[in-house]
């Protein structure tokens, strides 16, 4: 004898409260979410700056050669290198032995130069130091804070090429 199948009793779920709760949760999360600002979106990395302390050492007062890098006029467009030495005897002999210096450069207290002349001057300082066997001339770079770094980098490269790998930067103390 064949079994008679019972008809299943269907049940119906009302979806209205489920949709209401879903939209309530959606609006709640939208109103409470914190969105990134444009500045946070653009910065995709974090920079940790080094901690520094003040250096209390001072520049040596004798046997120092200073390379000053500054704007030559008030328009802050043209830049030049200026060279000076604290030892006036060495500075006078340097002016006399360096090739390519003009009469005005030989007579002034600061030698205004371009990069090639600066390289000749530093090479001559090294030659004089090496000839005396002292190698006691210390270099300092004094540059305007608004200069492009390329000017300072070029001066450092000139010093490096002439075996002066230790030099000072002239700075102001923070108040």
> Which uninterrupted H or E stretch holds 16?
helix 16-32
* pLDDT level of residue 47 (50, 70, 90 thresholds): very low
DSSP one-letter string for 19-39: HHHHHHHHHHHHHH--PPPHH
- Report which of residues 63 and 55 the model is more confident about: 63
Domain ranges of the chain: 64-169
**Highest mean pLDDT range out of 10-24, 60-74, 113-127, 139-153?**
10-24
Over residues 59-86, the pLDDT tens digits come to 677 788 888 888 777 677 777 888 888 8
119's enclosing H/E stretch is helix 115-132
Q: Rounded to whole angstroms, how far apart are CA atoms 175 and 168?
A: 21
pLDDT at 159 over 60: yes
> Quick check: pTM over 0.75?
no
152 pLDDT band, cuts 50/70/90, is confident
Which of these CATH numbers, 3.40.630.30, 3.90.1150.10, 3.30.420.270, 3.40.50.10320, describes 64-169? 3.30.420.270
Closest CA to 100 of 131, 64, 70, 124: 124
Copy the structure tokens of residue 122.
């530093």
């Amino acid at each position: 004898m064949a079994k008679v199948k019972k008809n299943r009793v269907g049940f119906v779920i009302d979806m209205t409260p489920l949709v209401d709760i879903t939209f309530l949760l959606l609006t709640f999360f939208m109103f409470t979410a914190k969105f990134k600002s444009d500045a946070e979106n653009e910065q995709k990395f974090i920079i940790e700056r080094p901690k520094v302390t003040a250096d209390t050492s001072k520049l040596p007062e004798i046997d120092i050669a200073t390379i000053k890098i500054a704007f030559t006029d008030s328009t802050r467009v043209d830049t030049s290198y200026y060279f000076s030495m604290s030892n006036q005897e060495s500075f006078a002999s340097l002016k006399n032995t360096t090739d390519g210096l003009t009469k005005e450069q030989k007579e002034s207290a600061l030698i205004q130069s371009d990069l090639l002349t600066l390289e000749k001057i530093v090479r001559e300082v090294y030659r004089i130091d090496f000839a005396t066997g002292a190698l006691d001339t210390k270099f300092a770079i004094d540059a305007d804070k608004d200069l492009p770094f390329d000017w300072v980098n070029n001066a450092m490269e000139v010093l490096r090429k002439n075996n002066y790998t230790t030099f000072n930067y002239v700075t102001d103390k923070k108040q």
